[in-house]
Amino acid sequence: MISLNELSLVLAGREPELIDRSDRDSRAAVAMIIDSSGSQGDPKVIFIERAQDSKDPWSGHMALPGGRCETSSESVMDAARRETHEEIGLHLPRDSLLGRLDDLQGRHAGRSQGLVISCLVFGVDKKAAFTLNHEVSDIVQVPFSVLLDKGNRTTIEYPVLGSGRYPAVHFVPDDSRVIWGLTYRFLRQLVGLVGHCLPEL
């Protein structure tokens, strides 16, 4: 079982691998929020389902709250906190930060998007009331026990990326929604820090 305290200790003691942004790159930040309220020792990760949008290649996919930094001077922490509040109405105090995962390069159709994405990990222990904006159609809180259950592992096809199948995690039986792609890559990083494995992309 993964605990909030265990994650806090591991994240506090490591230096994340950061990607230097080139002049052509932009930066974005996402928040991986670990909710231990009422968890009975099995904290939940807060995911969003992106709203349907014909202009968005990731429309309807599961994701973490977040988005691009508004200015070159906005820190990734401030961007993650601001976007989380805008998208789901959740205020993340600065002292709720547990740590930061390694940066990832944004990809689409297997190619770099010129986007560096940072993931900040936050811990909350009070039940939150969410207010969704137009970018979010749903919130799903998934316990670590579900995310790590080998019976919930699957693969998906995504024609935009060409042929091949990609590892993913189911979180509700008989639900077509899955966690995969960038969100899966950050999740795999996080659970790997405390000795758990998810299949590699």
For 106-118, what is each residue's pLDDT tens digit? 865 554 567 899 9
pLDDT score at 6: 93
**Domain extents for the chain?**
4-193
Residue-wise pLDDT for 35-64, tens only, equals: 998 768 899 999 999 998 877 777 889 999
**How far apart are alpha carbons 160 and 165 in whole angstroms?**
12
Average pLDDT rounded to a whole number, residues 175-188: 94
pLDDT score at 200: 85
CA-to-CA separations, 200 to 86, 91, 182, in angstroms, rounded: 32, 33, 12
Average pLDDT rounded to a whole number, residues 26-30: 93
pLDDT score at 117: 95
More reliable by pLDDT, 110 or 98:
98
**What CATH number does domain 4-193 carry, 3.40.50.300, 3.90.780.10, 3.10.620.30, 3.90.79.10?**
3.90.79.10
Residue-wise pLDDT for 60-93, tens only, equals: 899 999 999 998 889 999 999 999 999 999 999 9
- Confidence at 174, pLDDT banded by 50, 70, 90: confident
pLDDT score at 88: 98
**How far apart are alpha carbons 120 and 101 in whole angstroms?**
6
